[in-house]
Structure 1
Amino acid sequence: MRGKWRLLWLLSAVLLFACNPEAPGDGGGGGGNNPNPPPGGGPPDNPPQQGYVLTAWNDLGMHCMDSDYAVFSILPPYNNLHAQLKRKNGSLVTSGVVITYEATTGTDGQINTYSAGKTNFWDHAAAFFGVALPPDTGLKGHPTPSGRPAELEFNAAWGWWEAEGIPLTPYNDDGSKNFYPLVKVVARDASSGEVLVSANVVLPVSDEMDCRLCHGSDARRDDAKPKGGWVRDPNPEKDYRLNILRLHDEKHADAVRDRQDALDNLGYAYDPAGLEATARGGTPVLCAACHQSNALPGVGLGIKPFTNAIHKKHADVVDPRNGMKLNDANNRETCYACHPGAVTACLRGAMGDAKNPDGSQKMQCQSCHGPMKAVGDEAREGWLDEPNCQACHHDGLRETSAIDPATGRLRQVSDTRFATNGNVPASGYSLYRFSKGHGGLQCEACHGATHAVYPAHEADNLLSQSIQGHAGTVAECASCHAEPPRTADEGPHGMHAVSDWWVDEHGDVAEHDTGRCQSCHGRDYRGSPLSAVWSARTFQVEHGTKSFDRGHQVGCYDCHDGPGGDD
């Protein structure tokens, strides 16, 4: 009964975790028999029907999972797939269709159709979650993508179709590794079964999350060495994990004993002698059993939240690679010491890949999240107190840091043109991955996932390429509208349509208020990245034609002598 109670609160949660990969556990690295034959003979990726557009996305640029579950677990295999379907001559489709997902060949030419046997998660799921899950079945009942289509459900609260908790690993069926496996999402008419439209979508996943740099036996520095000595387990996956539990026991000797009744009531049979004894006795430890986490609402026993405990505790730790305190570093490599990134590009896309003139990276993890002590601040709500779009995109500016240097906290602005929604997913918060805008479309439907904003990895880009013919933000009006609209301010973010019609009409609009043009065309009206041409195009103008190459930042001076000048 206790196990059932534990599963109920876990299944009522919405995992919000993200991360990156590299290192198989006991069952990692492939192997096992494929219970699901590879798909074949399915619908083409972009069938000829032109009446619909399907957009789908993973909610985070990278989902993390543990590379081994025999000692403890931070994250189970848990991926989220969202989708929206729109009629090109109408609105979003919320009923009368069946939307499914299935495995498909990745950009590496390989396929990933099963997870059991590639990870030892299912061997230990009962100890963590109180129920023996069937192989290839996730915490919310959704299966690993395979050759058999599995259905998404419509979530009326968010206005999207979803499949949450998909248990996917970063291993292809041939044993090779791919952190960007693909699924094919297919929309069919519910009555006839006719395929309306389909698209290939990436479900990124990584097991690169790792603590051995400091906690592996005989690490470069012995700051983290337990007083009882290094464990020196011959299995490197278990070694650093056991070292962590031994160190935890030394610093919090009565952690289990003091909470024995509460843990027992939740069905956790932990040894009162400590966490190392628990793991060595065959019961792996779930960190969230004691440490509250907003990634698993309802967990924890009233002690310090997991994200606060980890980041605050390690802020003053010295990085053995460079001798700097982790809190003092100002680049993503420090974060990648533990989070995925050294091999997998957790932070990628338009912001993660942006470069300075000297070739250095323009933005780092700290540019949005602040230093490690800020992430570990006890006043911060982990997974909810996050940077939003308007912290950088406001008043015609494109900041390269969401942190206000005057306060050291997230910048607060009043300009809402590029703002995320307020009070999502809960009162007082404003998260990108829960926000929506133009036509009821989710922000991620057009801009891509958090940490992987278009254009990003080639697998990420497949979706936007299939919709509009090129990578980048889904911004071509004809991609979603049978007849491109003629509007000066009803487009996404209050923007105008891009067409010959606008060339003829824009003067009348700008004449009354040129200031409104600065948000995209720059304060000097000479163009900005927000006015860049997505694809080469030619317009009819008063004295002939005007052509722009892809990437050209359109401004008033391209055709006029400034915003108030003549042709």
Structure 2
Amino acid sequence: MNAHTFIFRFLLVCLGFSAFSNAYALELKPNSVEILVGQVTKVTVSKYSGTISVTSSNANIATVDYSKGIASIKGVRAGSATVTVKDRKTSKRVEVKVNSAPTSGLTISPTVLAINVGSSASISVSNASGTVSTQSSDTTVASVSYANATATVKGIKAGSATITIRDSKTSKAVPVTVLNTTAIGDYTLLAWNDLGMHCMDGLDFSVFAILPPYNTLHAQLKDKNGKLVSNNVLLTYEAVADSSGSINTSSANKTNFWSWVGELVGLNPAPDVGVNLDGLASGTPMPGNKTPSLTPAPMSYNMAYEWFEAEGIPVTPFDDKGNKNFYPNVKVVAKDALSGKVLASATTVLPVSDEMTCKGCHASTDANNNAAQIAAKPKTGWLFDADPDKDWKRNILHLHDEKQAGNKLFNDALTALNAKGYKSSGLLATADGGQPVLCVACHASNAYFDKENKTTVMGGMAGIASFTQSLHLKHAEVKDPATQLTLDSIDNRSACYQCHPGSVTQCLRGAMATATDANGDPSISCQSCHGNMKAVGSATRQGWFNEPTCESCHNSAAPGKRAISGVDATGKAIVPSDHTFATNANAPVPGLNLYRFSKGHGGLQCEACHGSTHAEYPSSHADENLQSTAVQGHAGPVAECKACHATIPSTVNGGPHGMHTTGDAWVNQHEDANKNGTASTPSCSYCHGTTSAGTPLSAIKVAKTINAGEFGTKNWPAGYQVSCFSCHNGPNP
């Protein structure tokens, strides 16, 4: 073979190799994105080789997470960042631009609808360019018509459809769920999860457990006279598909919890039946409740709290196809106990996350360039367990043994637990010997709360710090593996998400999560209400008990207090004298005032109308808004009188938080109201402002037409701030 032939063949081989390499080179679609603050967009990752890693050049601008070929990019604040995606051969970049708010263009409200068969709801349309058209993806489920900047959607039959609204430049999609409920006009059913996000520490419970799969569902039923209904009705819950089609009807096949629950807490519920802590303190635990399935399961009525409940529902963040879903949907149905007639139904979510892990620092790794991981590495090295769900847990027990070696309290605790299978040689030896470690067996935790006996069932051991105190104080000065700021830093907005759910789950996703300052930056973080980690871990604070109250920030001095902190330096709530927007004192026990146990107007629980903790209406998770939209026509706190009353009550101060009647009924009544207020009635300026020109508290949530009598018909768009100037030329016309 001559030299020319060799070179020719060599080139052919190289070109062929190049073509082969290009065919399997890392691809990203798209390679540039433009999103809003709080918005998440997905980039498809394909043709990759080996393990994928993703990083953001500026996590304060945009964060990124990766799972199964999808890089999820979330806008944090306005600006530009670069997301880098790497496989074992190469890397590609996605240029990210984050905008603080839409600058112009088609705007619709609401962006998701839930209506009943035969009912209608309106979508307000603004900033349209040119002619507007509307279309339903399934006219047998929902129809739509358009006139006067309003799209009117009517429910035809039960199901889901998408309403598309277009102008000459763009289009918007509104998911619509049509519910089929008999006699829904006679009753209002509200259901909610008590905490907004329940956590379980992974799917493996053979090493140690912090929190088991444990969700709680509450519900209240009202008749159209505004009275709570508790007698002669049966309430049930069942699994239903969410707006994406995902459904979760089982748990025992997704975690090994039921193999170890007996060793952990001494209870042995059947598979798919949860642990119920109520009554456990007195030795008479109540029956466990089932994982939601296609078979309706009963709820019980709790007379003390005036709600229906299913305590300790075991549910995992995996649907029936094995896909992650942190928000499995459930439907609650109320029936007449005698006739079996359906009175009302409601759809809500049972949020659950397994992001409460310590993998960021405690997972075994060969890398040696991250200060947080270096600090977490046991002196004798990582364990490198082949099971990733066990690896980080075993590393933690190993490190705990090292840190506490020679500590008399620790050794005494192990001795005290010998009868339960704990080994005096340490926690890792205990777990490796077949006895999983229950962290709260030594470290007291009020998360394990028996609300019937109003006490924790995990009181810990004398001299050993509580679980909340131990974790938060121990890690306050630890470096965040992502930002390298200390976790205690008030400027580290992502600190809490290193352990709590989470950058993907979005534990904080309610109305406060989307609040922004004048620059369009998020104005509220976890620390805004709870303080920094040292405050949360203060020795004088009781975890899960000493929590910020609503009025800590929502009070007459609110403009000067929001986004600072709802607690003092010791983690205790700042409670002002203004109790207009207040939780209940001494709820559930003297000295506490917890939102999740507080109630207000008409005996309704605060969470019934406002949504669960951290997921207050309107939530950024669309399915959580279905319920409030169904009962009042728009997402947000249940504040429309018609949601619970067939006849709008006439009151000056009998509404929620001392409010007056709203709508047409108030037009002829407000002239006689005391504008300066009384001891039981806030002054008009509280909501309408000191200049009577309106404030966000006087804003309406959905477009309304008001008959103002001699002042004519008023057409107010969603967000309009009602004031004296809406009809008059000032507060004293």
TM-score (norm 1): 0.89
Letter in structure 1 aligned against 2:576: V
Displacement of 1:49 after TM fit?
Answer: 3.6
Q: Which residue of 2 aligns with 1:323?
A: 484
**1:397, 1:519 within 8 Å by CA — same for their partners in 2?**
no
1:487-541, Cα deviation, whole Å (9 max, x unpaired):
1110011101112221122122145659701221123322222111121112122
Structure 2 residue 432 is the aligned partner of structure 1 residue 301: no
Q: How does 1:138-177 map to 2 (within 5 A)?
A: 138-140=274-276, 141-177=288-324
SS in structure 2 of the partner of residue 461 of structure 1 = helix
Rg comparison, structure with higher value: 2
Structure 2 residue 654 is the aligned partner of structure 1 residue 490: yes
Q: Which residue of 2 aligns with 1:461?
A: 625
Structure 2 residue 78 is the aligned partner of structure 1 residue 78: no
Letter in structure 2 aligned against 1:491: G
**2:530, 2:566 within 8 Å by CA — same for their partners in 1?**
no
SS in structure 2 of the partner of residue 403 of structure 1 = coil
Q: Distance in 2 between matches of 1:477 and 1:404?
A: 30
Decide which of 254, 267, 271 is 1:118's aligned counterpart: 254
Decide which of 540, 556, 560 is 1:395's aligned counterpart: 556
User: Relative to 1, partners in 2 of residues 1:63 and 1:96: Cα closer, same or farther, differing over 3 Å?
Assistant: same
Structure 2 residue 234 is the aligned partner of structure 1 residue 234: no
Structure 2 residue 688 is the aligned partner of structure 1 residue 521: yes
Displacement of 1:401 after TM fit?
Answer: 3.2
Displacement of 1:358 after TM fit?
Answer: 2.7
Q: Which residue of 2 aligns with 1:345?
A: 506
User: Relative to 1, partners in 2 of residues 1:378 and 1:137: Cα closer, same or farther, differing over 3 Å?
Assistant: same
Q: Distance in 2 between matches of 1:214 and 1:407?
A: 27
Q: Which residue of 2 aligns with 1:530?
A: 697
Letter in structure 2 aligned against 1:508: D
* Aligned length, in residue pairs: 527
Letter in structure 1 aligned against 2:636: G
Letter in structure 1 aligned against 2:535: A
Q: Distance in 1 between matches of 2:427 and 2:596?
A: 36
Q: Distance in 1 between matches of 2:339 and 2:685?
A: 49
Displacement of 1:80 after TM fit?
Answer: 0.4
Displacement of 1:239 after TM fit?
Answer: 1.4
Structure 1 unaligned blocks of 5 or more: 1-20, 25-40
Q: Distance in 2 between matches of 1:387 and 1:335?
A: 16
SS in structure 2 of the partner of residue 162 of structure 1 = strand
Q: Which residue of 2 aligns with 1:274?
A: 426
User: Relative to 1, partners in 2 of residues 1:87 and 1:405: Cα closer, same or farther, differing over 3 Å?
Assistant: closer
Q: How does 1:350-499 map to 2 (within 5 A)?
A: 350-395=511-556, 397=558, 399-401=561-563, 403=565, 410-456=573-619, 457-499=621-663
User: Relative to 1, partners in 2 of residues 1:407 and 1:563: Cα closer, same or farther, differing over 3 Å?
Assistant: farther
Displacement of 1:271 after TM fit?
Answer: 1.2
Letter in structure 2 aligned against 1:308: Q
Structure 2 residue 196 is the aligned partner of structure 1 residue 61: yes
Displacement of 1:278 after TM fit?
Answer: 1.0
Letter in structure 1 aligned against 2:190: T
**1:171, 1:178 within 8 Å by CA — same for their partners in 2?**
yes
Q: Which residue of 1 aligns with 2:413?
A: 259
SS in structure 2 of the partner of residue 460 of structure 1 = helix
Decide which of 92, 105, 118 is 2:228's aligned counterpart: 92
More strand by share: 2
SS in structure 2 of the partner of residue 248 of structure 1 = helix
**2:549, 2:566 within 8 Å by CA — same for their partners in 1?**
no
SS in structure 1 of the partner of residue 331 of structure 2 = strand
TM-score (norm 2): 0.69
**1:61, 1:450 within 8 Å by CA — same for their partners in 2?**
yes
Q: Distance in 2 between matches of 1:186 and 1:157?
A: 22
Displacement of 1:407 after TM fit?
Answer: 6.5
Decide which of 726, 729, 732 is 1:558's aligned counterpart: 726
Structure 2 residue 206 is the aligned partner of structure 1 residue 47: no
Q: Which residue of 1 aligns with 2:439?
A: 287
**2:359, 2:392 within 8 Å by CA — same for their partners in 1?**
yes
Structure 2 residue 700 is the aligned partner of structure 1 residue 548: no
Q: Which residue of 1 aligns with 2:395?
A: 243
Q: Which residue of 1 aligns with 2:154?
A: none
SS in structure 2 of the partner of residue 288 of structure 1 = helix
**2:264, 2:437 within 8 Å by CA — same for their partners in 1?**
yes
Q: Distance in 1 between matches of 2:461 and 2:200?
A: 23
Displacement of 1:369 after TM fit?
Answer: 0.3
Q: Which residue of 2 aligns with 1:223?
A: 375
1:62-115, Cα deviation, whole Å (9 max, x unpaired):
100121212111010000000000111251011111100011111221210000
SS in structure 1 of the partner of residue 495 of structure 2 = helix
**2:711, 2:727 within 8 Å by CA — same for their partners in 1?**
no
Decide which of 344, 349, 356 is 1:209's aligned counterpart: 356
Q: Which residue of 1 aligns with 2:172?
A: none
User: Relative to 1, partners in 2 of residues 1:143 and 1:404: Cα closer, same or farther, differing over 3 Å?
Assistant: closer
User: Relative to 1, partners in 2 of residues 1:274 and 1:406: Cα closer, same or farther, differing over 3 Å?
Assistant: closer
Q: Distance in 2 between matches of 1:274 and 1:351?
A: 44
Q: Distance in 1 between matches of 2:569 and 2:214?
A: 36
Structure 2 unaligned blocks of 5 or more: 1-64, 69-157, 160-177, 277-287, 449-455
**1:65, 1:207 within 8 Å by CA — same for their partners in 2?**
yes
**1:369, 1:386 within 8 Å by CA — same for their partners in 2?**
yes
**1:420, 1:430 within 8 Å by CA — same for their partners in 2?**
yes
User: Relative to 1, partners in 2 of residues 1:377 and 1:463: Cα closer, same or farther, differing over 3 Å?
Assistant: same
Letter in structure 2 aligned against 1:481: H
Displacement of 1:301 after TM fit?
Answer: 1.5
Structure 2 residue 331 is the aligned partner of structure 1 residue 184: yes
**2:535, 2:569 within 8 Å by CA — same for their partners in 1?**
no
Q: Which residue of 2 aligns with 1:9?
A: none
SS in structure 2 of the partner of residue 229 of structure 1 = coil
Q: Distance in 2 between matches of 1:328 and 1:373?
A: 10
Structure 1 stretch displaced more, 81-90 or 378-387: 81-90
1:30-52, Cα deviation, whole Å (9 max, x unpaired):
xxxxxxxxxxx999553344211
Displacement of 1:124 after TM fit?
Answer: 1.1
Q: Distance in 1 between matches of 2:180 and 2:688?
A: 36
Q: Which residue of 2 aligns with 1:13?
A: none
Higher relative contact order (CA 8 A, sep 6+): 1
